[in-house]
Amino acid sequence: MRSFLGVVGGAALVLALAAAPAGAAEGADQDFTIQDSRIKESSGIAASHAHPGIYWTHNDQDAPLIYGVDSRTGETVATLTMKGVGTPRDMEAISVGPDGDIYVGDIGDNKDGTWDHVWIYRFPEPKQLRNQTVTAKQYDVKYADGPRNAEALMVHPKTGRVYIASKNENTGGLYAGPERLSTSGTNVFRRIGDVPWVTDGAFSPDGERLLLRGYFSAKEYGWKDGRLDGDGRSVGAPFQGQAESATYTTDGSAMMFGSEGLNSGVVRVDRPEAERPSEKAPGASPTKDSGGATGGTPEERGNFTLGVIVLGTATALVIGGKRLLRRR
């Protein structure tokens, strides 16, 4: 998406400053700011498997470029140019699979589902961090129930199966791809569940949880037998100007949340040591670890209240603005 949320961005900036942890520790996999002026619309993020502390990202754009950003400095240490693929239309998501390959989802459709197919690109994660050209495979993708807009692509870390979460004002869908993607024909993704408005997602490294985020919140779901397991639990995602990206650290101890915009920030949120989402008793009250409004410190509860105040107005502006400024 193009950055346009001036009013919302200002409100979200206040919330982000209030919610972000003070004095984040130096080192890899901590809060960082993307320094590269070319990265203005970071629309997806994925932790490198081959290079500790490096995060792959890309713009919401029509250029086949992937950037490797060092979380210790925020500086770009590698720019990858994909060849062997057509001109991207709307790259929205990125993930690293168990095979060590990087998967890029050219799955956005700002006309709310008018393109009869979208694409996934795939290439091996480079062994060296430097500017280079990489040869990528291109997969044609269709949905069994017709075209739709999507911004989240997730590769399961054990099975290698690819999943897409569609984006809808009411109820989006979670779609499973075929067991193995094929370059020789169309890959049909089939709906396996309902999800809320989703702008990005990621599987935990152990494959037992699925993180899905939207503009104002994020939930972590249990994952069992290729399906969502339970209703999920809030993980206390930071409020960001245009919240478009999310991933786990490679050790699964924390989640990293990013947004679009020049010099955008990526915020670490430690994963609470608590029961899996599917194991939480039905109807149980939120606790401090669950990220619920009734738990946490007074400061955390204040941040939640402030978020509720702007949520209604911000949501209206997001939906209205995106309808007015669709690029295609």
pLDDT digits (tens, 9 = 90+) for 2-37: 444 444 444 444 343 334 333 334 589 999 999 999
With contact defined as beta carbons under 8 Å apart, do 220 and 206 qualify? no
Segment 56-68, tens digit of pLDDT = 999 987 799 999 9
Of the candidates 180, 132, 151, the residue with the CA atom closest to the CA atom of residue 244: 151
pLDDT over 50 at 160, yes or no: yes
pLDDT beyond 70 at 70: yes
- Beta-strand relationship, 172-176 and 150-155: unpaired
Amino acid letter at 48? S
Lowest mean pLDDT among 209-223, 265-279, 296-310: 296-310
- Note the pLDDT of residue 26: 59
Q: Which pTM was predicted? A: 0.78
Tokens 């999943």 correspond to what residue?
163
Place of tokens 């209206």: 316
The C-alpha atoms of residue 136 and residue 206 are separated, in whole angstroms, by: 26
